[in-house]
């Protein structure tokens, strides 16, 4: 990215300063360096030359006078720039004081002039008036408007695209009404005077990113190859997990940086349509329970989405309270999966293959397209089975670039994106060589299910609009021969009885099939279209065709390295290492599309296999198309054990690692290819960094680093660029890149990166529990106190949006604390503490300017700024001291709001105390009256022998230790500790008798 747009103002300043002596401008003040006459740096005439104005001396009134004087309306934005040293040599105006009514700026009270050293901020003032260009701030290249790379764009050529840090990211999130920042750049650390060395420096309280201090000396931070994405608390993103392809599965929603599931009762078809559209998966087909796709983990969100159905993103749907459920009741769905299509054919079931990536249709390269891939696509499109894959360009070509995605399908996969894919390092496709397919259509179509290839398995037939099973106890090779011929799978090798599928009910299509073996379609045989025998007495018909013969590498780290295994006559077996050499291995690698062989390991290098040992004493020349075409002793003829199983490592075997760094998940990026570790050039987009870090089990956030000075260089640099596609590429090997080359860039230009796990990228998530059920997952709005001496005192923390956050102490008072203590079940509040009295928290600051009346049932019900909005830091976290200590709460670790107890209000407590005192006084007066009456009569009566005596023990009350914070609040008050006098035993008995 060129720097010219960002350097515009200070470069124009230099250019114009050379022209000013020839200019006859009458104004005392002018703008320089903007896109038009109504914006730019404030320039003033001083002793016949143009000078700058210190950014400290410009206020709203002064800026309004300047805009009005220049005929530019009112003030829109005021900016401050730190210029390069050579641009800051002119005399500066330090200060100006305007009333706002002046016609010209020269009428204002102007301060002194002098060198830049007299300007405290060392920055120049700039103004954008309403007559200036309109600039908009946004986050781009993210999955929602609240995540992405910061970019400010205008009508003309001004732009801002930088790697922003914590405070700057916080300003952007607040400016976009996206809450607080959860993720930001952590590179470029260091200091320069009082400021961190960065292009933008914010205090964190600004309302606009353009109000921050801009230092053009660090403009290179806005010209990086890759930027760290900002993620705000308002970010929302959807995904489907647990399915066989990306367009089906359990629905998970990302809020901020936390993935959670959604209750089944909160998912309807309009919302499902939006999810499918967001994922590029067409439209919703069905809503399911999660059981087929697993239960997942993390929180189950209790805030639901209310969608109209036409929104482009789930982010745009309205929010409303949702249901509560366990992980066994979360939502799942299936989308139509419209990521592939056939075009230019005579029907929807034939044509050129095109792939939808990032909302653009592109043709697929035919170089490695085969019948197994085509079979999967035909099944996926509900077009029967693949009949042929015509040569490239058969259905015409388009100007669009051809995708080099290579699919390695077996033919049994439900979706092309379920197949292993290798795109990384692929060579560019020959012009016009686009992939094509002819599908059979659904009329009398067949398919084989639950097998190891598209040419073996249980037979299903399409009749009357549905797929049905084929049943027959007399199923034989003649029937199987017709199936194999119809599917183009060669000769029948085996006809067998298969158990019925256990995963779902499939209706019966055909039964009692009797074929001669010469028919071209199964429906031409003598068949019954209805079940004529008692249910359960017949089994499904299965076949193994000669076309099922295939090879694979097992137990290796990728599909291009491992133990050699061959599928023959319906079962997998291994190859003996007798006479096994590099020529044999070459045939295997070529057959699998894995390049050439690097080595031919023997002696069960990849572990011992099981089953048959199908081949032995192979003598390949190295040019054969398949391993079984080589000379051998014949199928199954061998004298080996599985400890002699043969293996292969091919040149297309790939791996990835980070090297030369003591810290985990940090270092030089290296890729293993063609038997050599090599580096990768620095051209990596944000999606590539995410995929790389996930591939390395290092979280999902990555950032490029500068090459350490002490590091060594690497001889081979394999890849010039990696450009993964967001929401499409689920593994590194699927990502498009430049072709493999040993010297893709100069030594020393290879990429170094750091992957940060979630807790490192955002401290906000440190206390977020890994919920496995609703019993351990806090409810929305849950409250706890942290850092105090017990569970009724501490820093106030709230659970919202999937993470714990704090409360700002702005306007925090005893009424707010009263609500907290009530919600905790801790009785009345003693104190409302401020200034992080229990230590600063972490994560979001969820609430600010809280204004409770004191009667609310929860803190979230009090009046406050919107969730996540505020201008506080964690040194302003609020705390409470409550009177009580609940018996059932674990200290500082409440995971859900406890039930609200019945508590006494302050007036009720006062009445209770007053009543008790009056009662004591009454008893004392009564006792005194009885005593006087007895003394006045002069006679002591005998107590009756059957009198019941009650002994009342005086229980000494322990002196309560006042918390330190409370003591500080009441230290100026005086207290009288009066002890009740002890009555004599005689008086005690007299009083009771009376």
Q: Which is it for the CA torsion 243, 248, 249, 254, positive or negative?
A: positive
Residue 511 near residue 531 (C-beta atoms within 8 A): yes
3-class secondary-structure state, position 482: helix
* pLDDT of 986 strictly over 50: no
Residues recorded for the chain: 994
Residue 570 near residue 493 (C-beta atoms within 8 A): yes
Q: What is residue 885's predicted lDDT score, i.e. its pLDDT? A: 67
pLDDT band at 560 (very low <50, low <70, confident <90, very high): very high
Q: What is residue 364's predicted lDDT score, i.e. its pLDDT? A: 93
Contact partners, residue 299, CB within 8 Å, separation at least 6: 258, 260, 261, 771, 777, 778, 802
pLDDT in tens, 851-873: 998 888 889 889 888 777 677 88
pLDDT band at 529 (very low <50, low <70, confident <90, very high): low
- Average of pLDDT values for 608-629? 94
Q: What is residue 210's predicted lDDT score, i.e. its pLDDT? A: 84
pLDDT-wise least confident of 64-73, 218-227, 275-284, 696-705: 218-227
Q: Which range in 78-87, 125-134, 590-599, 832-841 is most confidently predicted, on average pLDDT? A: 590-599
- Average of pLDDT values for 910-929? 67
Q: What is residue 661's predicted lDDT score, i.e. its pLDDT? A: 80
For the chain, the distance separating the N- and C-terminal CA atoms, rounded to the nearest angstrom, is 100
How do strand 803-807 and strand 845-847 relate by DSSP bridges?
parallel
H-state helical runs in 706-762: 758-761
pLDDT-wise least confident of 25-29, 809-813, 990-994: 990-994
73: Cα within 13 Å, side-chain hemisphere: 13
- Average of pLDDT values for 671-693? 92
Contact partners, residue 347, CB within 8 Å, separation at least 6: 441
Extract the tokens encoding 974. Answer: 């005086």
- Average of pLDDT values for 693-721? 86
The model's pTM: 0.66
* pLDDT of 969 strictly over 70: no
Residue 657 near residue 670 (C-beta atoms within 8 A): yes
- Average of pLDDT values for 219-236? 85
Residue 62 near residue 44 (C-beta atoms within 8 A): no
pLDDT in tens, 404-426: 999 999 999 988 988 989 999 99
pLDDT band at 389 (very low <50, low <70, confident <90, very high): very high
Q: What is residue 536's predicted lDDT score, i.e. its pLDDT? A: 58
Q: What percent of the chain has pLDDT over 70?
A: 81
DSSP 8-state code for residue 974: -
pLDDT in tens, 245-269: 888 999 999 999 888 999 999 999 9
pLDDT band at 994 (very low <50, low <70, confident <90, very high): very low
* pLDDT of 8 strictly over 50: no
- Average of pLDDT values for 738-745? 93
Q: What is residue 929's predicted lDDT score, i.e. its pLDDT? A: 62
pLDDT band at 9 (very low <50, low <70, confident <90, very high): very low
pLDDT band at 888 (very low <50, low <70, confident <90, very high): very low
* pLDDT of 985 strictly over 80: no
Q: What is residue 631's predicted lDDT score, i.e. its pLDDT? A: 94
- Rounded CA-CA distance 478/471 in Å is 15
Q: What percent of the chain has pLDDT over 90?
A: 41
* pLDDT of 768 strictly over 50: no
Q: What is residue 221's predicted lDDT score, i.e. its pLDDT? A: 76
pLDDT-wise least confident of 279-288, 463-472, 764-773: 764-773
* pLDDT of 34 strictly over 70: yes
Q: Which range in 94-108, 181-195, 943-957 is most confidently predicted, on average pLDDT? A: 94-108
Q: What is residue 964's predicted lDDT score, i.e. its pLDDT? A: 39
- Going along the chain from its start, the domains and CATH numbers come out as 29-129 (3.10.250.10), 137-209+218-232 (3.10.250.10), 236-335 (3.10.250.10), 340-442 (3.10.250.10), 445-526 (3.10.250.10), 550-650 (3.10.250.10), 655-756 (3.10.250.10), 782-885 (3.10.250.10)
* pLDDT of 974 strictly over 60: no
Over the chain, what is the mean pLDDT?
81
pLDDT band at 877 (very low <50, low <70, confident <90, very high): very high
pLDDT-wise least confident of 364-378, 538-552, 894-908: 894-908
* pLDDT of 159 strictly over 60: no
Q: What is residue 191's predicted lDDT score, i.e. its pLDDT? A: 38
Extract the tokens encoding 979. Answer: 């002890």
- Rounded CA-CA distance 427/405 in Å is 10
* pLDDT of 158 strictly over 80: no
Which secondary-structure segment (H or E) carries 684?
Answer: strand 676-684
pLDDT band at 733 (very low <50, low <70, confident <90, very high): very high
């Amino acid at each position: 990215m060129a720097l010219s747009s960002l350097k515009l103002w200070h470069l124009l300043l230099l250019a114009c300063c050379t022209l000013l002596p020839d200019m006859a401008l009458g104004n005392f003040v002018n703008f320089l360096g903007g896109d038009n006459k109504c914006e730019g740096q404030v320039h003033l005439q001083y002793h016949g030359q143009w000078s700058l104005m210190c950014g400290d001396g410009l206020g709203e009134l002064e800026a309004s006078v300047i805009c009005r004087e220049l005929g530019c309306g009112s003030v829109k934005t005021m900016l401050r720039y730190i210029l390069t040293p050579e641009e800051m040599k002119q005399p500066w105006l330090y200060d100006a004081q305007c009333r706002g009514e002046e016609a010209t700026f020269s009428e204002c009270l102007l301060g002194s002039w002098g060198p830049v050293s007299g300007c405290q901020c060392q920055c120049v003032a700039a103004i954008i008036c309403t007559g200036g260009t309109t600039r908009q701030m946004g986050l781009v290249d993210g999955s929602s408007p609240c995540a992405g790379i910061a970019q400010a764009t205008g009508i003309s050529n001004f732009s801002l695209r930088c790697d922003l840090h914590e405070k700057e990211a916080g300003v952007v999130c607040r400016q976009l009404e996206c809450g607080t920042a959860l993720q930001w750049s952590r590179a470029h650390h260091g200091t320069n005077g009082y400021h961190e060395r960065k292009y933008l420096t914010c205090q964190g309280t600004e309302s606009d990113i353009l109000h921050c201090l801009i230092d053009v000396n660090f403009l290179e931070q806005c010209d990086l190859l890759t930027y760290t994405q900002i993620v705000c608390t308002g970010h929302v993103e959807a995904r489907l997990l647990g399915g066989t392809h990306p367009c089906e599965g359990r629905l998970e929603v990302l809020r901020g940086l936390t993935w959670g599931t959604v209750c089944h009762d909160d998912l309807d078809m309009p919302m499902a349509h939006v999810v499918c559209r967001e994922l590029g998966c067409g439209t919703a087909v069905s809503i399911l329970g999660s059981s087929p796709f697993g239960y997942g983990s993390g929180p189950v969100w209790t805030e639901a989405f209310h969608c109209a159905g036409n929104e482009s993103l789930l982010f745009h749907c309205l929010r409303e309270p949702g249901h509560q459920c366990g992980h066994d009741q979360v939502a799942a769905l299936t989308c139509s999966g419209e990521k592939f299509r056939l075009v230019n054919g005579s029907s929807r079931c034939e044509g050129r293959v095109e792939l939808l990536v990032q909302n653009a249709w592109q043709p697929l390269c035919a170089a490695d397209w085969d019948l197994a891939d085509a079979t999967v696509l035909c099944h996926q499109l509900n077009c029967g089975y693949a009949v042929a894959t015509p040569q490239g360009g058969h259905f015409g070509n388009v100007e669009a670039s051809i995708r080099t995605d290579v699919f390695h399908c077996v033919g049994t996969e439900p979706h092309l994106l379920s197949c292993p894919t290798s795109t990384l390092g692929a060579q560019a496709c020959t012009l016009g060589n686009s992939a094509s397919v002819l599908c059979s259509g659904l009329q009398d179509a067949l398919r084989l299910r639950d097998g190891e290839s598209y040419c073996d398995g249980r037979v299903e037939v399409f009749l009357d609009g549905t797929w049905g099973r084929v049943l027959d106890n007399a199923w034989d090779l003649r029937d199987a021969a017709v199936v194999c011929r119809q599917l183009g799978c060669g000769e029948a090798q085996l006809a067998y009885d298969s158990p019925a599928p256990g995963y779902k009910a499939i209706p019966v299509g055909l039964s009692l099939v009797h074929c001669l073996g010469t028919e071209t379609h199964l429906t031409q045989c003598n068949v019954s279209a209805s079940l004529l025998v008692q249910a359960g007495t017949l089994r499904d018909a299965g076949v193994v065709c000669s076309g099922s013969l295939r090879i694979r590498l097992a137990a290796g780290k990728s599909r291009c390295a491992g133990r050699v295994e061959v599928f023959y006559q319906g079962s997998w077996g291994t190859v003996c290492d007798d006479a096994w050499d590099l020529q044999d291995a070459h045939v295997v690698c070529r057959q699998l599309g894995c390049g050439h062989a690097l080595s031919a390991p023997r002696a069960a290098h990849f572990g011992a296999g099981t089953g048959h040992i199908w081949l032995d004493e192979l003598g390949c020349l190295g040019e054969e198309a398949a391993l079984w075409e080589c000379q051998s002793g014949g199928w199954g003829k061998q004298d080996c054990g599985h400890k002699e199983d043969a293996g292969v490592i091919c040149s297309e075997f790939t791996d990835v690692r980070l090297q030369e760094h003591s810290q985990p998940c940090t270092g030089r990026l290296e890729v293993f290819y063609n038997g050599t570790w090599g580096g990768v050039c620095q051209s990596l987009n944000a999606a590539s960094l995410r995929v790389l870090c996930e591939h390395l089990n290092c979280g999902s956030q990555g950032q490029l680093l500068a090459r350490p000075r002490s590091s060594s260089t690497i001889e081979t640099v394999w890849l010039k660029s990696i450009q993964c596609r967001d929401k499409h590429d689920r593994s590194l090997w699927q990502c498009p890149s430049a072709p493999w080359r040993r010297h893709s860039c100069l030594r020393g230009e290879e990429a170094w990166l750091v992957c940060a796990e979630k807790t490192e990228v955002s401290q906000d998530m440190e206390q977020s529990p890994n919920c496995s059920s609703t019993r351990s997952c806090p409810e929305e709005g849950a409250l706890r106190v942290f850092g105090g001496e017990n569970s009724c005192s501490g820093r106030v923390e709230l659970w919202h949006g999937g993470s714990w956050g704090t409360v700002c102490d702005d306007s925090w008072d005893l009424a707010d604390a009263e609500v907290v203590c009530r919600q905790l079940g801790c009785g009345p509040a003693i104190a409302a503490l401020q200034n992080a009295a229990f230590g600063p928290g972490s994560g979001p600051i969820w609430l600010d300017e809280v204004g409770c009346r004191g009667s609310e049932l929860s803190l979230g019900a009090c009046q406050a700024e919107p969730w996540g909005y505020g201008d506080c830091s964690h040194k302003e976290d609020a705390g409470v001291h409550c009177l009580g200590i609940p018996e059932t709460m674990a200290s500082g670790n409440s995971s859900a709001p406890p039930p609200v107890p019945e508590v006494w209000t302050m007036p009720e407590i006062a009445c209770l105390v007053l009543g008790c005192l009056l009662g004591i006084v009454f008893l004392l007066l009564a006792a005194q009256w009885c005593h006087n009456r007895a003394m006045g009569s002069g006679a002591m009566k005998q107590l009756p022998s059957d009198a019941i005596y009650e002994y009342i023990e005086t229980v000494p009350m322990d002196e309560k230790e006042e918390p330190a914070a409370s003591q500080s609040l009441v230290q100026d008050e005086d207290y009288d500790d009066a002890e009740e006098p002890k009555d004599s035993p005689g008086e005690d008995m007299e009083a009771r008798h009376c």
